[in-house]
Amino acid sequence: MNKVYPNAVAAIEGIADNMTLMLGGFGLSGIPENSIAALAASGIKGLTCISNNAGVDDFGLGLLLQNRQIKKMISSYVGENAEFERQMLSGELEVELNPQGTLAERCRAGGAGIPAFFVPAGAGTEVAEGKETRVFNGKLHLLEHALTADYAIVKAWKGDTLGNLIYRHTANNFNQPMAMAGKITIAEVEELVPAGTLDPNQIHTPGIFVQRIFQVVNLEKRIEFVTTRPKP
């Protein structure tokens, strides 16, 4: 099975209207920006996107929001995107907010084949509305259901031609659990190396979870907030 694709446009082939996508990243760290840009140019609409956050107004998932390509966001933190806020408050965008740890565990559970689990986060708040509850060790817990997706799109530092992936520092974040939870997983990597090159002890995502991989050509690493010290 040849998993190597020439670019993002080829790698996202098959993604269609009304599908569910998982997209790795935390803030702008580790987001699959090339794949997102290809989706923005594709005209695909009605997407349900599972991502920790929604990018910023002109980068990452913010591009899909500008194009009205997303109908529902399942997220944790969404405070850096004015267009997201506008669409949510106007009722144009359906939003399901999760505690951050709960969202990560829902993705991990989906990849591990665990259908649901109990967690204390959100008990006694609006997050608990409509959910089954149960007491463990004297503490109230909520039943949360696992998440899976038609496609998971992740970003890695290094990958090989068999799809084995290594993430770097903070960019690991949601990429690792999401890579396991997609029916088809697409990985964009900064460096693509021949099979057998990577140290097996350093691999975070085994290639069995990855069906498509490509090396990015245009690598852009943005910082959400640039903070510098004042001149002395």
User: Please, what's the largest Cα pairwise distance for the chain?
Assistant: 59
Angle (CA) 130 99 180, round 5° = 100
pLDDT of residue 78: 78
Helix (H) / strand (E) containing 158: strand 149-160
Q: Could you give the count of Cα atoms lying within 13 Å of 223 in the half-sphere of its Cβ?
A: 4
Count of domains for the chain: 1
The pLDDT tens digits along the chain (232 residues) read 899 999 999 999 999 999 999 999 988 889 999 999 999 999 999 999 999 988 888 888 999 999 999 999 999 987 778 888 899 999 999 999 999 999 999 999 999 999 999 999 999 998 899 999 999 999 999 999 999 999 999 999 999 999 999 999 988 999 999 999 999 999 999 999 999 999 999 999 999 999 999 999 877 776 666 677 887 7
Whether residue 222 is contained in a domain is answered as: no
Q: 119 in a domain, yes or no? A: no
Q: Computed over its alpha carbons, how large is the radius of gyration of the chain? A: 18
Residue 141 placed within a domain:
no
What was the pLDDT predicted at 225? 64
Paired strand residues for 75: 97
- Residue 24, domain extent: 8-114+147-215
CATH number at residue 73: 3.40.1080.10
pTM of the model: 0.91
Looking at the domain assignment, is residue 128 inside a domain? Answer: no
What span, in angstroms and rounded, lies between the C-alpha atoms of 181 and 97?
19
